[in-house]
Chains A and B, each alone.
Chain A
Amino acid sequence: MPTTYYYVDGVPIHTFYTGTTILPGTPLPKTQGKAVLFLHGAGSNGHVWVDMLQRLSSQHSPVAIDLPAHGRSGGLLAADSIEAYCAVVDAFLAVTQFTPCVLVGHSMGGAIAQLYALTHPGKLAGLVLSSTGARLRVAPAILQLWQDASMGKAVNVYGRSSYSDKTSMDIVRQGWGEQRKTDPRVRLGDFVACDRFDAMARLPEITVPTLVLGGTDDVITPPRYTAYLHQHISGAQLTMIPDAGHIGYAEQPEAMASALLAFLAQL
């Protein structure tokens, strides 16, 4: 899959796209279907979307980015607020001329997408909120764990709580491999940003056509989170993916891709 860099406020943003290779600095191609931008979750990176990009690539123009300080993007410490990430997305869309687009946000990426839909509705053609919530409180023990990891006190511990019990260890290990790529200090910043995020009261203001995706076995952002989003965003559609935990795109990629394709076809 081709990748390129765009300089956004001086920070090189690593960008995955599909189709023929483009020259550096040229706008992102939106030659077919919908322009779709994927945003990864806390401590993750754009590479996790490669499979989903390929599944959409024959009909649409999908793109994924590494947020600053994640993956291969520059920028050195995580923004510690969803607002800051939102500003990055806005600047990225301006530099790449990739509007109007459909924003697909997973978990923390979903928080960024909600805020972006609230603040820049004119630049979006649609909104997909995958395994996320209107409020993303992080347990104090988790914050402490990553605080310790950032200070060199704790070994990074990854569990399988993000995954459904039915998901194979191969997929879980692949996910851990992606998570390990992130500096613990960056992940901590992400969790702090999530912890501060609360859009519960503002959901009714979202006017963009919205699809809410959730995993039936998700314990990180459980089905009641997705149900809340579905109920409070007017006209939102809901698709629950069976046998998926928090990492639906890796656990049940086919189900997620078909839900996405069906939604994009309606827009």
Chain B
Amino acid sequence: MQFSRQAAIVGVHEHETRWAPDKTAFQIATESARAALADAGLTSNDVDGYFTAGVDGMAPALMCDHLNIRPKVVDSTSIGGTSFLAHAAHAVSAIATGRCEVALITYGSTAASHSVAVGTRGRYGVEIPEQYELPYGVTTVGAYAMCAQRHMYEFGTTSAQLAEIAVTFRRHAVLNPYAKYREPITVDDVLASRVISSPLHLLDCCIISDGGGAVVVTSAARARDCAKPPVWILGAGETVFHPEAGKRDFLRMAASQTAPIAFAQAGVTHDDIDMCMIYDSFSITVMMTLENLGFCKLGDGGAFVSGGRLALGGALPTNTDGGGMSSNHPGMRGIFLMIEATKQLRGECGERQVPDCKLALAHGTGGALGTRHGGVTLILGRD
């Protein structure tokens, strides 16, 4: 059975809040779900598949209770911040095989107002497979920083090249009224900000915010009756990456495995892509993801991101919402990649619209480079 065009994204909503200390993650997810369903012209009564992550144990059941839905398919695959992209791929499979027809994916988090130290806790080394990180107390940012160091050592990549990524996404955030940080910054600002984990500066890192969102995926037949034009899921690749029993490679990512699958399913090439949404946990994540996706050769990332290529008006506009580095990052950003890509394909992005956007690529990375991470590539297209 062919994967491409079996199902489409028909409803999206990104919760506008970036700061909601008085709300619960459930409430943010629920408000987003209502809005995404309304966007699709559907109601919660239509939902028969439910997908979420970022919540523990029985929380999918709590959320279904909260939303009063009785799904036929439930999936809480949790492979880091990218999980929601995996959910979209799983939803396509579930819809194609007739297990459900309207899949709802939700996310909600109050990471900022509840002072969750996303990425800076010494969180690696808790489980047995992490025994080689445990003695060194590696944090998430520390793991990404190691990869950045390696990239600089191998290829001569500079901090200024990484900084351009942060500067570009902030320029996009200026055009997004909901972005948390909207004051323009320069390469010098990034280089002058304090070092969090060498060589990554504060402004090389994603922010921490509250927020959430929801996405509705439905069958090709049903999509025709929805309120908005369908955004087709053309291809999806998904995997988890790990140190491969000691053959640790700091420069390869899950993206190197997922991209060829997604491109093959979609039947398109890199040159066809009009815009990208790349999980920007850190500036280095974007550079390495673009290399691993095959947009440029391994090691050429520094030159590739220079000269405004990723900016609106450039050859490959990326993270047009401002990304996790400027707009929002409540801990797991994957869902926002799909939401912004969908809005771009629908032409709903106003000032930050990519002209005549027909094909978009979203790639999420969850966990940490250099240790274990999940990676999912989605290729989305309009009619």
* Residues in chain A within 8 A of chain B (CB atoms): 10, 12, 45, 47, 66, 71-72, 74, 76-77, 151-153, 180-181, 183-184
Contacts and interface: CB of A to CB of B under 8 A. Distances in A.
A46 B288 CA distance: 48
Contacts of A10: 34, 38
Interface in B201-247: none
Given A12-B31, A72-B27, A183 B19 contact: yes
Interface of B: 15-23, 27, 31, 34, 38, 179-183
Report, nearest first, the 9 A-B pairs whose CB atoms are least far apart.
A152-B181, A76-B16, A151-B182, A183-B19, A181-B22, A153-B183, A74-B31, A71-B22, A181-B21
B22 A45 contact: yes
B22 A183 contact: no
Most chain-B CB neighbours within 10 Å: which of A10, A151, A180, A181? A151
A152 B34 CA distance: 28
A77 to B, nearest CB: 6
Given A74-B31, A183-B17, A152 B180 contact: yes
B11 to A, nearest CB: 15
A181 B22 CA distance: 6
What is the predominant secondary structure among interface residues of chain B facing chain A?
A: loop
A76 B15 contact: yes
Contacts of A180: 21
Most chain-B CB neighbours within 10 Å: which of A45, A66, A71, A74? A74
Nearest to B38: A10
Contacts of A76: 15-17, 31
A71 B24 CA distance: 11
Contacts of A184: 19
A182 to B, nearest CB: 8
Contacts of A66: 22
B22 A72 contact: yes
30 contacts: A10-B38, A12-B31, A45-B22, A47-B22, A66-B22, A71-B22, A72-B22, A72-B23, A72-B27, A74-B27, A74-B31, A76-B15, A76-B16, A76-B17, A76-B31, A151-B181, A151-B182, A151-B183, A152-B179, A152-B180, A152-B181, A152-B183, A180-B21, A181-B21, A181-B22, A183-B17, A183-B18, A183-B19, A183-B20, A184-B19
B182 A152 contact: yes
A183 B177 CA distance: 13
What is the predominant secondary structure among interface residues of chain A facing chain B?
A: loop
Contacts of B38: 10
A153 B173 CA distance: 13
A192 to B, nearest CB: 14
B66 to A, nearest CB: 12
B266 to A, nearest CB: 34
Given A76-B16, A76-B17, A183-B20, 11 more contacts: A10-B34, A45-B22, A47-B22, A72-B22, A72-B27, A74-B27, A74-B31, A151-B183, A152-B179, A152-B180, A153-B183
Contacts of A181: 21-22
A50 to B, nearest CB: 13
B227 to A, nearest CB: 15
Nearest to B23: A72
A16 to B, nearest CB: 12
B213 to A, nearest CB: 12
Contacts of B17: 76, 183
A77 B19 CA distance: 12
Contacts of B18: 183
Contacts of B15: 76
Nearest to B326: A152
Most chain-A CB neighbours within 10 Å: which of B22, B27, B182? B22
B16 A77 contact: yes
A10 B39 CA distance: 13
A59 B179 CA distance: 47
Contacts of A71: 22
A180 B180 CA distance: 16
A28 B197 CA distance: 55
A45 B22 CA distance: 10
A72 B17 CA distance: 12
Contacts of A74: 27, 31
Contacts of B22: 45, 47, 66, 71-72, 181
A47 B23 CA distance: 13
